[in-house]
């Protein structure tokens, strides 16, 4: 089924460890996004990539880096994990079509715990 | 800047009763407004959206929302709740570049 695939689904890290969250979409979308979801705070944008070759910071970028590997793949890296980064991470994609802006396809999420 | 405020973090409704979830927005440009739904342990999926034109928007699973510019509101309703409507609902608004700004979410519990 076409959609957005995130790996891994679950991860436990120790403080200071690094890891990369993977995201791939087969929707032929140009734009991709990383959000984190925390209780009572909704979803907050970490980084986004409007199109292949570009990335920009969102609302909460500190402690994260991203790579837009190609049109399909957009990865999120935690260089030195902290307990404050315990969260559920969602990747999403959308077209560049102005009339379709805001209509995202989401992955099923990565639940990350930093101890 | 764009923002949304969802009134009520938890709503409990009886099966068959009206579901009403409140959302107010702030936007410096004509808004595109959205409701997304998240079922347990899943990602978000689009329920409905308002772009331009008709202010009453119908979505999936019998939900609808009305855009009221004078009240800066975009409340979500469903006439008769079903057990399968138990989920978290997010109101969102886009900026002119298509980035979504989400509200804090409203958890809906449906009781028999």
Q: pLDDT, tens digit, for every residue of B5-17?
A: 999 999 999 999 9
Q: What is the mean pLDDT of residues B25-44?
A: 91
Query: How far is it, in rounded angstroms, from Cα B87 to Cα B68?
Result: 25
pLDDT of residue B53: 85
pLDDT tens string A86-99: 999 999 999 877 77
CB-CB under 8 Å, A101 with B32: yes
For B64-98, give one letter per residue: b (16+ CB within 10 A) or e: bbebeeeeebbbbebeebeeebbbbbbbbbbbeeb
A32, A43, A106: best to mutate for the B interface, most B CBs within 10 A: A43
Helices (H) and strands (E) in chain B, counts: 0, 11
Contacts of B99 in chain A (CB under 8 A): 33, 45, 48, 58
Residue numbers in B near A58 (CB within 8 A): 99
**Cβ separation B42–A48 shorter than 8 A:** no
Across chain A, how many H-helices and E-strands are there?
0, 11
Spatial CA neighbour of B101 closest among A43, A105, A98: A43
Q: Hey, is A41 helix, strand or coil?
A: coil
**What band does B1 get if pLDDT is binned at 50, 70 and 90?**
confident
Q: Which residue has the higher pLDDT, A20 or A69?
A: A20
Task: Tell me how far apart the alpha carbons of residues A90 and A92 are, in angstroms, rounded to a whole number.
Answer: 7
Give B95's pLDDT tier (boundaries 50, 70, 90): confident
pLDDT digits (tens, 9 = 90+) for A12-61: 999 999 999 999 999 999 999 999 999 888 999 999 999 998 999 999 99
Longest dimension (CA), chain A: 43
- Residues 6+ away with beta carbon under 8 Å from A39: none
Residues in chain A with CB shorter than 8 Å from the CB of B97 are 50, 101
Mean pLDDT of chain B: 94
**Which of B35, B44, B103 is the mutation pick for testing A, counting most A CBs within 10 A?**
B44
pLDDT of residue A1 exceeding 70, the answer is no
Whether pLDDT at B51 is above 70: yes
Confidence of residue A101 (pLDDT cuts 50, 70, 90): confident
- Look at A1 and A43; give whichever has higher pLDDT: A43
How far apart are alpha carbons B47 and B37 in whole angstroms?
A: 6
Q: What pLDDT, in 10s, does the model give residues B54-91?
A: 899 999 999 999 999 999 999 999 999 999 999 999 99
| Mean pLDDT on A4-11 | 96
Instruction: Spell out the residues 6+ positions from residue B12 whose beta carbon is closer than 8 angstroms to its own.
Output: B108, B109, B110, B111
DSSP class of residue A30 equals S
Kindly indicate the confidence band of residue B36, based on its pLDDT and cuts at 50, 70 and 90.
Answer: very high
């Amino acid at each position: 089924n076409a959609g957005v695939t995130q790996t891994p689904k679950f991860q436990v890290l120790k403080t200071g460890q690094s890891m990369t969250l993977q995201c791939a979409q087969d929707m032929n979308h140009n734009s991709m996004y990383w959000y984190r979801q925390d209780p009572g705070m909704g979803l907050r944008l970490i980084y986004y990539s409007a199109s292949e070759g570009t990335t920009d910071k969102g609302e909460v970028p500190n402690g994260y880096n991203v790579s837009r590997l190609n049109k399909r793949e957009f990865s999120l890296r935690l260089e030195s994990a902290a307990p404050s980064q315990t969260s559920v991470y969602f990747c999403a994609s959308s077209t560049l079509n102005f009339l379709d802006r805001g209509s995202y396809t989401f992955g099923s999420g990565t639940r990350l715990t930093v101890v | 800047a764009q923002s949304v405020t969802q009134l009520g973090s938890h709503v409990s409704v009886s099966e068959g009763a009206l579901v009403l979830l409140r959302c107010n927005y702030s936007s410096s440009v004509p808004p595109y407004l959205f409701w997304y739904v998240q079922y347990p342990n899943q990602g978000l999926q689009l329920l409905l959206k308002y772009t331009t034109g008709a202010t009453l928007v119908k979505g999936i699973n019998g939900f609808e929302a009305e855009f009221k510019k004078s009240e800066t509101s975009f409340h979500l309703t469903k006439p008769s709740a079903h057990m399968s409507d138990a989920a978290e609902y997010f109101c969102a608004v886009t900026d002119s570049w298509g980035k979504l700004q989400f509200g804090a979410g409203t958890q809906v519990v449906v009781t028999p």
